[in-house]
Amino acid sequence: MAMYIMFFFTDLLGIKPAVATIIVVTASLWDAINDPIMGMIADKTRTKWGKFRPYLIFGPIPLALTTILCYIKFDLSGTAVFLYAGICYILWGMSYTVIDIPIWAISSVVSKDPIEKNKMVTLGKIGGTVGTAIVTVGSIIIINSFGGERLASAYTKTAVIIAVLSVSMIMITGFTLKERIFPDKEVISMRKNIQTITKNKPLMMLMISLLIVNLINGIRQSAQMYFVVYVWGDSSQLTNVGISLILGMVLGMAISPKIIEKIEKKKVFIAACVLGSVFSAIPFFIGGKSILFSLVFLGISFAFTGMTTIISASMLIDSIDYSEWKLGFRGEGLVFSMNTFLTKLSGTIAKSILGIGLVLMNYTEGQAVTATTVRGFSAMMYLVPAGCFLLTMVPLYFYKISPEEKGAIRGMLKEKY
């Protein structure tokens, strides 16, 4: 969805960039807003299957159907196209929310051991990155095999394949995972549950940082199809971008757990942001037309993005434990729903930046390559992510859980569970 939806709307359905931006931004904003609602619903859930598992068992089917519907080109015109695209994209976002929050929140209740939970998050994030890379590398190959990026039916068939595979794997996850930290029998009211956010300063600072750092991949995912077509002149280069993404992200994720066992998480996060900014910006200024040079530096910057992904997820779990120590309840569903809310909100901002960029460049479907488009799409892939890395460090500076508090939290968890 991040890679192709804007391109499909503008270049396959013929929707004007400004209108497509309105559709995507409006739908994404609503999608982000309903995340905390879903999080509080999940926190209230009590079933024989557990708190989060039911959503992973029964939720995938609507997600598959709406994914496919978003990539079907019906014989419509004018306002009908606009309405169809908007409705489908809104329904897709709501279906995705039902899955996305439980699949991350469940990582906080699968084990009582903090090290095991960190490993669980690491494996989950690596799996998510591999999935993203598979789509990045493989989808364009499938699209081309069905007729290429200018044929709408190619996207439809590709969406069917990806939807079926995804639904199968999500349902397997729902059937096989076990929840080992059980919620109190008392159901926390929504008003009280919100205190998990409002009375947890470390969590609030971390969330602001997450909003900014998520823009890095959000902008790149939204712009990369345009980038490879109009800057590198070859849509098949998406495969190489995907390879650089998977190699970089997985490497960064794989080494992060060992590093944060020896060095404070916050310090590692800040270091990753500084280095990520440097390696993101370099190709814009000295990369020239060398695709290989740019791919290498993209891969390195993806490695630092991978590190921030794992460290932030681990810090989120720390903030949940902090909430239980300070407030007496965990609120995992709300915390992870806010995480997905921020991811989607940053995705919305990323699509807005892309949409504004398209308007400023006077972009039209299938237009000729110009110096403006080359520089504009290059800035979206390199300069904007570099700036986001640096901005991430500002709120992160105010994220503080003292060593004494960490010791008290560990003692509380051992005693309680």
Output the pLDDT for position 186: 60
Q: In the prediction, which pLDDT does 286 show? A: 86
Are 179 and 355 in contact, with CB atoms under 8 Å apart?
no
Burial, 407: exposed, middle or buried (Cβ in 10 Å; 0-12, 13-18, 19+)? exposed
* Cα–Cα distance measured from residue 349 to residue 127, given in angstroms and rounded to the nearest whole number: 25
Q: What share of the chain is helix, strand, coil (3-state, %, to 5)?
A: 80, 0, 20
Query: What is the DSSP annotation of 321-383?
Result: HHHHHHHS---HHHHHHHHHHHHHHHHHHHHHHHHHHHHHTT--TTPPP-HHHHHHHHHHHTH
CA–CA gap between residue 136 and residue 395 (Å, rounded): 31
Among 357, 345, 346, 348, CA closest to 383: 357
- Going along the chain from its start, the domains and CATH numbers come out as 5-180+191-416 (1.20.1250.20)
Per-residue pLDDT of the chain (417 residues; tens, 9 = 90+): 878 898 899 889 989 888 888 888 888 778 777 887 887 788 777 878 888 889 999 999 999 999 999 999 998 888 899 899 999 999 998 999 898 888 888 877 887 776 777 778 778 878 887 887 788 778 888 999 999 888 999 999 999 999 999 999 999 989 998 887 766 666 666 666 677 777 788 888 998 999 999 999 889 988 888 898 888 888 888 888 888 888 898 899 889 988 988 898 899 999 999 999 999 999 999 866 789 999 999 999 999 999 998 898 888 888 878 777 777 776 677 777 777 778 778 888 888 888 888 888 888 776 677 888 888 899 999 999 999 999 999 999 888 887 777 778 777 766 765
Task: Please state, in angstroms and as integers, the Cα–Cα distance from residue 170 to each residue in 60, 108, 321, following that order.
Answer: 7, 18, 27
Pick from 106, 107, 99, 97: nearest CA to 60: 99
Question: For the purposes of burial, counting CB atoms within 10 Å of the CB of 318, is it exposed (0-12), middle (13-18) or buried (19 or more)?
Answer: buried
* Distance, CA of 344 to CA of 288 (rounded, Å): 33
Q: What is the pLDDT of residue 238?
A: 82
Q: Look at residue 50 and give its three-state secondary structure.
A: strand
Whole-number Å distance between alpha carbons of 144 and 127: 25
Give pLDDT, residue 185.
60
Residue tagged 């590190």 (tokens): 307
Cβ atoms within 10 A of the Cβ of 334, count? 30
User: Burial letters for 88-126: b for 16+ Cβ neighbours within 10 Å, e otherwise?
Assistant: bbbbbbbbbbbbbbbbbbbbbbbbeebeebbebbbebbb
DSSP, collapsed to helix, strand or coil, labels residue 260 as helix
CB 351 within 8 A of CB 25: yes
Q: How far apart are CA 363 and CA 229, in angstroms?
A: 13
Which pLDDT does position 367 carry in this prediction? Answer: 66
Cα of 29 vs its chain's centroid, Å: 14
Q: Is 179 within 8 Å of 108 (Cβ atoms)? A: no
Q: What is the pLDDT of residue 188?
A: 62
pLDDT of residue 324: 77
